[in-house]
Homo-oligomer: A and B are copies of this chain.
Amino acid sequence: MVDNPIRFGIIGCAEIAKKVSRAINLAPNSIIYAIGSRLIEKAKKFVRENGLSDTVNIYGSYEEVLGDPSVDAVYMPLPTSLHVQWAVMAAQKKKHLLLEKPTALSVADLNQILDACESNGVQFMDGTMWLHHPRTLKMKEMLYDPKLFGQIRLIHSTSTFAETQEFFENNIRVKPDLDALGALGDTGWYCIMAILWAVNYQLPKTVTALPAPTHNASGVILACGSSFQWGEEDTKIATFHCGFLSHVSMDLSIYGSNGSLHLKDFIIPYQENSASFDFTSGAKFAELHLGWNLKPTQVQVASELPQEALMVQEFATLVNSIRSSGSKPDRKWPEISRKTQLVLDAVMKSIEIGFKPVAL
């Protein structure tokens, strides 16, 4: 543990907060300093059940966490509809912000949050964990080796899990007043970001949703998909499918002119300490097309810390350099979130207007 670790306040006791509080404790440069819930009993229970230190300050409101001058940064796993209000207030209180995804209900809302962060000089990062896995870096390195991979032609991603009746009746992620983006916000977020990641965050020119999404009775999306186009001169395209109706899938497949890359656990690796992806380069058919000259290679990448702890560590490192040397917040992370939200909005719009293309 470093001297002066970043002191986190956690706002809200959602399921995902368990995983991230463990990550804050695992990261070498951060500690949990405070936790707040609208009901103090919930916060106490969270501390007890997750084996957090007795020294964690427990509050019965979000305001108290934000008002605690010893809190450096806030991790915010609230329902999406509450993000603008609390994230803006956190920034105004000079708290650095690690915000769960989807970051907002719309890019207009997210812009309010990002403006507040920028004008208050605080770091923003969303809670997408897989971007911080060393596997992700290794994939990028091989993807952008022109000899190995060539030019990107096609990207396909899925993010699904099959939910229970209880989830469909009660979970906030299917409630129009809490998480109106439904499966698109929750699981589609990952697909959209993965596609943008693969193309170095070059925004598509148009987004065209796929027909036949599934909605619940309140109009919240339970499953949907989209295609992305980059324009006349650029033949690459992307498709994704997300939802709460299929067995767990986290597929990312990238096809280039000279190689392909596949993995089936890009969001949450099968195991914590090591993860892999399949890479093929220069595959051809054997004579008479009786087989292939080679099979995909499994590239294994070890990870000393889980990806969520690496996320916290990266965030805390940026916060620390602002705190200790007065540097500016890193603009890369808010920009990635903003582009993801922009594309997500376009998918939603395309669904609303009958699967017509939406220009970005």
Binding site for B on A (CB under 8 A): 16, 18-19, 22, 150, 153-154, 156, 158, 160-162, 206, 208, 210-212, 214, 223, 225, 227, 229-230, 235, 237, 239, 241, 243, 245-249, 251, 253, 255-260, 262, 264-265, 268-272, 278, 280-285, 288-292, 295-296, 306, 355, 357
The reply to whether B208 and A255 contact each other, CB–CB distance below 8 Å, is: no
Which of B223, B225, B285 interacts with A239 by CB under 8 Å?
B225
In the assembly, how many copies of this chain are there? 2
Q: A227-B225, A270-B292 are in contact. Are A260 and B249 (CB under 8 A)?
A: yes
Q: List 4 additional A-B contacts (Cβ < 8 Å) besides A153-B160, A251-B253.
A: A212-B227, A212-B229, A225-B237, A270-B295
Assembled-state Cα–Cα distance A214/B234 (Å): 10
The reply to whether A211 and B229 contact each other, CB–CB distance below 8 Å, is: yes
The reply to whether A237 and B212 contact each other, CB–CB distance below 8 Å, is: yes
Q: Which residues of B contact A258 (CB under 8 A)?
A: 162, 247
Task: Give 10 closest A-B pairs by Cβ, nearest first.
Answer: A153-B246, A212-B229, A246-B255, A248-B283, A19-B288, A210-B227, A270-B292, A214-B235, A271-B291, A270-B295
Cβ distance A214 to chain B, nearest Cβ, rounded Å: 5
Cβ distance A37 to chain B, nearest Cβ, rounded Å: 19
Assembled-state Cα–Cα distance A289/B15 (Å): 10
The reply to whether B153 and A243 contact each other, CB–CB distance below 8 Å, is: yes
The reply to whether A290 and B262 contact each other, CB–CB distance below 8 Å, is: no
Assembled-state Cα–Cα distance A18/B288 (Å): 7
Pairs A–B under 8 Å by Cβ, sample size 5? A153-B243, A211-B237, A265-B292, A270-B291, A271-B292
Assembled-state Cα–Cα distance A157/B274 (Å): 28
Assembled-state Cα–Cα distance A245/B154 (Å): 10
Q: A210-B237, A227-B210, A247-B280 are in contact. Are A268 and B255 (CB under 8 A)?
A: no
Assembled-state Cα–Cα distance A44/B357 (Å): 55
Q: Which residues of B contact A264 (CB under 8 A)?
A: 262, 278, 296
Q: Which residues of B contact A289 (CB under 8 A)?
A: 16, 19, 268
